[in-house]
Structure 1
Amino acid sequence: MISLDRGGIDFFATASINNFPFFDGRRLALVEGPDGAAAVWNGGAFLRAGRYGPAPSELAELVEERLGLRENYGEFLVRIPNDPIRRMDLLRGWRMRSFPLWLVLLITINQQNAGFVQGWHNLWCIIKQERPVKLGDFATYIPPELEEVLRSSELLKRRKVGYRAEHIFSAVRSIVENENPLRARGVGEYTKRIVGLLARRKYGEPPVDRRVKVVVRKAYRVDDAERFLRRGSGEWASLAVAVALDAVPPSCALERIRRGQMRPVEGASPANLWRLSPFC
């Protein structure tokens, strides 16, 4: 076990925002491979972390990277003090977590043409079929091994994710064959930008899909959503998207905005997805 100075980060916000089965309200699982993971929890002024299985030996470096302990979002927060959607009370102390490339691709492809809840449900349908991993007294689930997916092309189809199964299979094959998975079938510009954000911490390319366009245009009364995000948030435009929306369908989000309720609802937002329990 190791201890790390958490500095000014809010561990709960960092662990919970845009999370799913990897956080239980106290402990965060960092899943790095089929048999390797680390558990992180708050220990006052320090973060505690323990390694399980063949996780990277450089555990401190892993935790620092995945939790963004070296990231400074001061400039980003200065840009949004009176923003009608992005909440200063939620974001102060928050750092975006990064993920391994395979897990990011799995998350983003499952989100294609889907709202947050549906995409998270698709992810759950895949992950929950795997064996749980015990991290001390904390259990979590991990994605299937890449080789397992390649051995059985029907594996993903049985997980009820629809056409996305073919796109996931194509990305997996690219990774295993040492090709660029961002050129795989079904990996478009939106998916590439999500990968850049979550796997590589590229904050300047906002992932703007139809849903983002609709909500941003209405909420901010602008015509070009991406131009507005780039102009308003600069090199932090991706972060601006990552926490600005709730997990309800666009029609519901628009109705909320029409009523004058600008901020995402508490029951279904990126900050609360970890509390949801979708199942197959």
Structure 2
Amino acid sequence: MANYIYLFLKGIAMGAANVIPGVSGGTIAFVTGIYTEFIDSLKAFDLTALKLALRFEIRALLKHVNFAFLFPLFLGVAVSLFSLGKLLDWLFSDYPILVWSFFFGLILASVYYVSENIRKRTAPVYITFVLGTVAALALALLKPAEENPAFLYVAICGVVAVCSMILPGLSGSFVLILMGNYQLVMLQAVPDLNLQVIFPFAIGGGIGFIVLSRAISYLLHHYHDTTLSALTGFILGSLAVIWPWKEEVFLVDDAGELLLKDGESIVQGYQWYAPSLSNSGTWIAIALMVLGVLSVILLEKTAKSR
């Protein structure tokens, strides 16, 4: 029971990370020591699992898909997604710098701990690290699309977002921002149980889980160090998105007037700036950043002790 509770809490942490733009649930899974088992468990949803289900061999099916591991983990993710969406929406509206600072510390520490798992640091490892970093930085500079509630587009969002949710350093929520549907899915549909949006997103997400989990599992087992170095680069590059001191840049027309979508301004990117050290709020943000780093250190030590 203690182990199930522990997995449930890890699921809550992964769900919270997936709600926040710039933070990856895959990073949390990696830091807490469950990433490889998580990916291999997702890969188990294959033809063998389908045959067992059709023959109603429930016990064999649950064992094959590692149900004892996935159930408490996904239960925690679900609880987190449905309960924290509104809270995080409020926190980001009223205390954006403080929230971003805490998660910046989380991801900064994650870079070190993920890189620790690389066994041999060869030239291909360094090259893939640089490529991963550049790719994440390039994503940070892309302009977000407009919101689109069409069934097919929401399903595609599900495929892409879920793929990024299980990649350490690549935030599913940030990908949803780039695709224009972050507010529609994470802040409106999920907390309000809007099935018209959740259903196509879940279909796409299921496809993404099945396809990408098999690809990552293959890469981790056959190209362990280069795969980890690329993922570490993704995490490092994602820090550009999470930098606390930034201002939203809104989309304007040729006349310089703000373009609106359903009465709200459309974010097209961010403008970063350095904080003022004479401001007391800056030191509070830095303290939260340090707290984020210490949280990851504690998680890592707990995972190793277990």
TM over 0.5: no
The TM-score with structure 2 as length reference comes to: 0.27
The TM-score with structure 1 as length reference comes to: 0.29
Structure in which a larger fraction of residues adopt strand: 1
Relative contact order, CA 8 A, sep 6+: which one is greater?
A: 2
Structure in which a larger fraction of residues adopt helix: 2
Larger Rg: 2
